[in-house]
Amino acid sequence: MAPIAISPIESQNEVEVLIKKNISQYKEQAAGPLTYNKKLEEEGSAEVPKAKYANYLPTWDSNQKFPPLELFEHVDHGASADPNFAELLSASVERDDITPTIGTSLSGIQLSKLSDAGKDQLALFAARRKVLLFKDQDFADLPIPEAIEFGRYFGRLHIHPTSGCPEGHPEVHLVHRGHDDNSGATMLETRTSTVAWHSDVTYEKQPPGTTFLYILDKPSTGGDTIFCNMVEAYNRLSPAFRERLHGLQAVHSGLEQADGSKTRGSITRREPIISVHPLVRTHPATGEKALFVNPQFTRFIVGYKKEESDFLLKFLYDHIAYGADFHARMRWSEKSVIVWDNRVATHSAILDWVNGQRRHLARITPQAEPPKETPFERAN
């Protein structure tokens, strides 16, 4: 793991020791090769249908190794988009806002057919509405390289360090629970809830921006994904409290995810990384400020003593979790695609469906700019 400088901590080893001493809220929602029944997924049985998209079934190649990610210059396409959304919200498109502050369902448009101008509008609209639901899409039926190239338009594609991927396509992160996977019930033996709020891989130096998740197989009911508007979460705080958050930084860790992967007999494509990000970040296209902490990957606030850091982070985590009036619960349907902006929304899978039903999704995850804070602005 490459060393990082975190004042007032003296060394990388001390950072890792501090992380391990803190009681982590990390929840392992991922399944892995130990619970994967390859024959059942590929062939099915008299009682169990085979996977609908065999080309998207997960593989774990222990020989697949990648060097540490290097910084790159990200271009945010939403910043130059048509704010009237002439293509994305044309007269033929039906729009349904799921809540006033977060979530919009769009029908009558195919994501795969968008022009570059339409993709720019998609990036901006996702940043404004935080999460978008597109029904009846052909995305899952595209050749995998075409889906990957679509995502690449929005930024350098993240290769997940631990997850399964379609064979030969590590740019695709798979969310897969097979018909005989009971790991959700196993989690509830030691937890009261399977909800695990997070923004994806915030331990990276450049966490994701516009992100794509599409359904391949779904349970008959349940398995929704819930999202939280982190701009609204920030705005709901008092001006004095918001001002106090500015200037604070927090450590985000991939150590627990890597350790969990090893426990599940899975892989680590890259060594785990620790990064420091501001508690409040500003979106480059909208200028909106958003909270940027999550219990899956945020570990402690730099410069605070443990009790102080735990107290403040618990308040923020509770604020996120209890904010039902700035949440949107997105229900999956066949061939649907969800697009969201990881910079301004957190989310969690909801593992509430009956054991024995397959849930299979694919994520394409373009990275964005390093999180940046802009000065606090007091309302006039």
- Give the max Cα distance, the chain: 67
- Is 347 assigned a catalytic role? yes
Pick the catalytic residue from 156, 270, 347, 360. Answer: 347
Query: Alpha-carbon distance 352 to 322, whole Å?
Result: 19
- Is 283 assigned a catalytic role? no
- Is 200 assigned a catalytic role? yes
- Is 198 assigned a catalytic role? yes
Give the three-class secondary structure for 41.
helix
Query: Alpha-carbon distance 19 to 24, whole Å?
Result: 8
Sign of CA dihedral 219, 340, 370, 374: negative
Query: Alpha-carbon distance 251 to 203, whole Å?
Result: 8
With b meaning 16 or more CB within 10 Å and e meaning fewer, what string describes 320-337?
bbebeebbbebebeebbb
Q: Is 153 exposed, middle or buried (0-12, 13-18, 19+ CB in 10 A)?
A: middle
Q: pLDDT digit string (tens) for 146-158?
A: 999 999 999 999 9
> Is a pLDDT exceeding 50 seen at residue 8?
no
Query: Alpha-carbon distance 207 to 16, whole Å?
Result: 20
Query: Alpha-carbon distance 179 to 378, whole Å?
Result: 52
Nearest to 66 by CA among 201, 362, 268: 268
Q: pTM above 0.85? A: yes
Pick the catalytic residue from 76, 120, 181, 200. Answer: 200
> Is a pLDDT exceeding 90 seen at residue 137?
yes
Query: Alpha-carbon distance 276 to 41, whole Å?
Result: 40
Query: Alpha-carbon distance 111 to 88, whole Å?
Result: 9
Q: pLDDT digit string (tens) for 158-187?
A: 999 999 999 999 999 999 999 877 777 778
| Token pair in block for residue 152 | 């690449």
Mean pLDDT of the chain: 92
List alpha helices for the chain, DSSP H: 12-21, 38-43, 116-129, 144-152, 183-187, 230-235, 239-245, 255-263, 306-322
Q: pLDDT digit string (tens) for 261-273?
A: 888 788 999 999 9
